[in-house]
Each structure stands twice: as C-alpha cells, then as structure tokens.
Structure 1
Amino acid sequence: MTIKAEHEIHQRRKGRNIGVGLMLAGFVVLVLALTFVKITSGDFELPRAEAIE
C-alpha cells in the first residue's frame, strides 16, 4: 500500500471548505453578539403572562 499524493481538486475543495467554515463561524459569532447586545441593553423584557380573570 503506497502513500498517494493529494490531487489538486482535493486541495481546492479543502480550501473552499475552510472558507465556508470560517464564514459560518463568523455568522454564528455575529448572531451571538447581536443577541448579547440586545439582551444587555436594558430595554429587553420577557413577555408577562396575562392575568386570568
């Protein structure tokens, strides 16, 4: 069993996958940051339960 050199297409796919992964991670960080800022801004309130009469 010999070790095969990595083909060019695998290198391109690997680079594309890393780029997509970094973009996804950046999007997740952005959403978490916006959520954190919204919650800690002070005007965020949980919905209150309506009084049953």
Structure 2
Amino acid sequence: MTAPLPDGPITDAEIRKRQRSRALAMALVLGGLVILFYAISIAKMA
C-alpha cells in the first residue's frame, strides 16, 4: 500500500531530502560491500 499523495506540488526541498536519503542508503550498501570483499580477501589469504 502506498502513502497518500501530498496536496500540493512537491517542493525542491522535499526532492533534495529524498535524494540525500537515497544517496546515504547507497553509500551504506557500497561501504558494506567493500568491507565484505575486504574480509573475504583477508580470509582467503589466511
């Protein structure tokens, strides 16, 4: 189920806030992958 649409047009501030939260989520995912690959590399060397 989706959230109801806002009554007015979407402002630039709301768009920037959504972009910032999406960018933060992507950064966390990429950082997690980097840490995972690093840990796998260390484990294979040992």
TM-score (norm 1): 0.64
Cα deviation code 1:6-52 (max 9, x no counterpart)? 122110001111111111111100000001111111x2xxxxxxxxx
Cα RMSD between the aligned structures?
1.6
Separation (CA, whole Å) in 1 of partners of 2:36 and 2:30 = 10
Which secondary structure does the structure 1 equivalent of 2:9 belong to?
Answer: coil
Aligned to 1:11: 15
Aligned to 1:20: 24
Determine which structure has greater relative contact order: mean sequence separation of CA pairs < 8 Å that are 6+ residues apart, divided by chain length: 1
- Displaced runs of 4 or more, over 3 A: none
TM-score (norm 2): 0.72
Q: Gaps (5+ residues) in structure 1?
A: 44-53
Q: Gaps (5+ residues) in structure 2?
A: 1-5
The structure with the larger Rg is 1
Q: Structure 1 or 2: larger helix share?
A: 2
